[in-house]
Chains A and B, each alone.
Chain A
């Protein structure tokens, strides 16, 4: 299930050639990195420029990197079961920085320790300031649609 803002979905035909600058990161407590490696490859294949921050990234480091690199998008991946809780902390830290108030930030993966708690967390994550929330069972299509929309908006 995907919870990006409705009305913006749909692949953009003839998407611009220039891609986005994307930072891919895990959350502060999450050691899993295969999902990050996968996201890096996927985003690169889709024409974006990616930098990966790696495992167990403290919130402050994400904020510092976002301020330093001024990316078009931050992609947060988490599968260890703490994604919802860690994600809420992370987005609070990002949105607390005025210069990052409008930065697109999305999160995806296995976001809770049980499938139903994960699903219950999705609206809360969105309300807290994530631009998009991609629960794993939905696959990559909604994520791709979101990126196409964002690319069309950013790379006019």
Chain B
């Protein structure tokens, strides 16, 4: 990894001496948000902070966000634009800074105002992407999202000054949260990263969300690293792993076991940062304490793992995931130097096609399945140009119970792990909140 930048989110992660852990935390009231960020900073872990924005701000419905704040209704995140820059600076005072960078996580296909808002509040790091924050998150046409995200990248890049280097993370490694074969996730993350760089970013991160099989996941993170090393020269980049983003185990020990697997994936495959999940993920928004527990448990697990063997870890090319990702990336890059246009053409032709995505600009001809070893594979590749590296395995028509089985594959196995072990118990209902 090259290191052209000096301070900021990317530099903090690059210079960290252990795996950096981060929550997916967001609360409506500034006081509660401040308490959450302070607790994240003070956790026994190398941590960075998160401001996850609420769904009204994400879809640009600021009137609804305002009403919720005025009426004191619960929001599922921090309404950055409603509280405004002055209140947000106050909320962050003495907490956010070089020793504890804070990232804004949102989910908007038209993020210009959010980017302006976070810059005005003194922040420099955020995430998303023209595809990953459009197809699973909105009904905005993809062409508009590409246009909005071009502008958002430029706004971030223009904010570069003597202070922290602006940082942008691709959410491309998460499409729909679950049941997307890893080759496509790796390709989308990489392509969005290249899009960010073309539009002025110098410090970026590429994501990969843990899926159903630990070995396949490791192949995916290695493939992503190999492709980034090749295609992002001179850029400050790192890999961030998301703890499982699909239907989560309901039992505390099932949840912890899944978290442990994500930590092991990040450490073994050489990711630098991990977004954690809590033991109440399946049910509700976690409290500050539940977030801190997840951060500390993950940090402890990471410290106990042996450091990966660098020499062995550095090759990620000899795998199925790499072959698929490489074919998809090459197909899009062949469409010309403008990556945004390339992405549009590719989705238009079905060269990129995300399974189970309802967005009108997604072809919807691909489908995935979980094979007998637990790996994600293709039952149909649609028009994606990976026919030479994949033999799709046609599947029976999807039924509601078949879909639930696939969505609950990870959850069931890890929850059963608890039931098979000693002291099976469900978490008691939380008192109060």
Using a CB–CB cutoff of 8 Å, the interface residues on chain A facing chain B are 28-31, 33-34, 36-38, 41-42, 45, 52, 54-57, 80-82, 85, 89, 110, 112-117
Contacts and interface: CB of A to CB of B under 8 A. Distances in A.
A115 B64 CA distance: 22
B59 interface: yes
Given A28-B61, A29-B64, A34-B176, A81 B356 contact: no
B159 to A, nearest CB: 27
Contacts of B310: none
Interface in B46-88: 54-56, 58-59, 61, 64, 68, 73-76
Contacts of B68: 85
A65 to B, nearest CB: 13
A9 to B, nearest CB: 22
28 contacts: A28-B64, A29-B55, A29-B58, A31-B55, A31-B137, A31-B138, A33-B176, A33-B356, A34-B177, A34-B178, A34-B407, A37-B403, A45-B399, A54-B359, A55-B136, A55-B358, A56-B138, A57-B139, A80-B55, A80-B76, A81-B75, A81-B76, A82-B54, A82-B76, A85-B64, A114-B74, A114-B285, A115-B429
A113 B285 contact: yes
Interface in B171-204: 176-178
B284 interface: yes
Given A45-B400, A54-B358, A82-B54, 14 more contacts: A30-B55, A31-B55, A31-B138, A33-B356, A34-B176, A36-B358, A38-B400, A38-B404, A42-B400, A54-B139, A54-B359, A55-B138, A81-B285, A85-B73
B221 to A, nearest CB: 24
Nearest to A82: B55
Given A38-B404, A85-B64, A117 B429 contact: no
Nearest to A46: B400
B433 interface: yes
B107 A31 contact: yes
Contacts of A29: 55-56, 58-59, 61, 64
Most buried by B among A31, A52, A54: A31
B358 A52 contact: yes
Contacts of B373: none
A-side binding surface: helix, strand, loop or mixed? loop
A114 B284 contact: yes
Interface in B119-147: 136-139
Interface in B394-422: 398-400, 403-404, 407
B283 interface: yes
Nearest to A52: B358
Q: Which 4 A-B pairs have the closest CB atoms?
A: A41-B400, A81-B76, A29-B55, A42-B400
Tell me if B's interface is mostly helix, strand, loop or mixed. Answer: loop
Given A34-B407, A38-B404, A41-B399, A115 B283 contact: yes
A84 B354 CA distance: 30
B89 to A, nearest CB: 26
A113 B73 CA distance: 10
Contacts of A117: 74
Contacts of B177: 34
B181 to A, nearest CB: 17
Interface residues of B, number: 37
A124 to B, nearest CB: 12
Contacts of A34: 176-178, 356, 407
A38 B430 CA distance: 29
A82 B138 contact: no
A93 to B, nearest CB: 13
A40 B400 CA distance: 8
B25 to A, nearest CB: 13
Nearest to B398: A41
A28 B285 CA distance: 20
Contact of B139 (A36, A45, A55): A55
A110 to B, nearest CB: 8
A36 B429 CA distance: 27
A115 B284 contact: yes
Interface centre among B107, B176, B398, B400 (most CB of A within 10 A): B400
Nearest to A117: B74
Contacts of B285: 81, 113-114
B137 A56 contact: yes
Nearest to B358: A54
B356 A37 contact: yes
Contacts of B433: 114, 116
A113 B76 contact: yes
Contacts of B430: 115
